[in-house]
Amino acid sequence: MNFVFIKRFLILVASLFIWFIIHTTFVIIDGLNDELKPVDVAVVLGNKVEVNGQLSERLKARLDTSVKLYDGGYFTFIIVSGGIGKEGFDEAKVMKSYLIDKGIPEDKIIEDNNGYNSYMSAQNTSKIMDELEIDSVMVITQYFHVSRTKLAFRKMDIKEVYSAHAKIFEFRDIYSIIREFPAYYKYLFKL
C-alpha cells in the first residue's frame, strides 16, 4: 500500500515539475518576444525606488524602454503605475519625473498612484482607458512578468494588449521566474 502511494506521489511531483518547465519556457519566450504595434497608451509597471529616491535598475530599464518606444511613435500616452513602497516614495510620481527629464511631455504622462500590484494596475488602466475612450495598450515590464500582466489586462476586458520588456537581466530573475508560476495561476483563477 505504501509503495503505491509513493509511486503516485512521485508521478504527481514529476508531472508538476514537467508542467512547471513547459509553463516557464512559454513565459520566458512570450516575455522576450515584444509585440511592437502602434497602440493608444503604454503602461509602465512600477518597481522599487531606492531609499535615496533613485530608481532601481529594473524600474529605470522599464522607463527607458518606454521612452525609446514613445520616441518611435508607438503610443501617445504613458501611464506610470505604482504605489508607495516601503521606502516611502510614490513610484508613479518618481517615474513621471524621470520621464519628464527624458523629454516626454508632462501632459502625455498619466499617474496611477494605486497600482500596488499588476492586477490593480490593470483595473486602474481599464478605468483610465474608458475615460479616454481608447482601447489598445502596451504593457512594459520585465520579461518574466509579461504573460501574467497581459492576462490581468485581458481579464479587464481590454482586447488589444501588447507588450515590450525592459532590457535588463539580473541574477534575481531566477527567483522571479519561479515565483511567476503560482502567481500566473492565481491571476488566472481570480474572479
What is the pLDDT at residue 4? 83
pLDDT of residue 139: 98
Using CA of residue 30, residue 158, residue 97, residue 180, what is the dihedral sign? Answer: negative
Alpha carbon distance 41, 149 (integer Å): 15
The pLDDT assigned to 5 comes to 86
Task: Spell out the domains of the chain, with CATH numbers in brackets.
Answer: 2-188 (3.40.50.620)
Question: Whose grid coordinates read 516557464?
Answer: 24
First vs last Cα of the chain: how many Å apart? 40
Q: What is the pLDDT along the chain (191 residues), one digit of tens a residue?
A: 588 888 899 999 999 999 999 999 999 999 999 999 999 999 999 998 988 989 999 999 999 999 999 999 999 999 999 998 888 889 999 999 999 999 999 999 999 999 999 999 999 999 999 999 999 999 999 999 999 999 999 999 998 999 999 999 999 999 999 999 999 999 999 76
At 142, the amino acid letter reads: Q
Tell me which residue has cell 511631455: 105
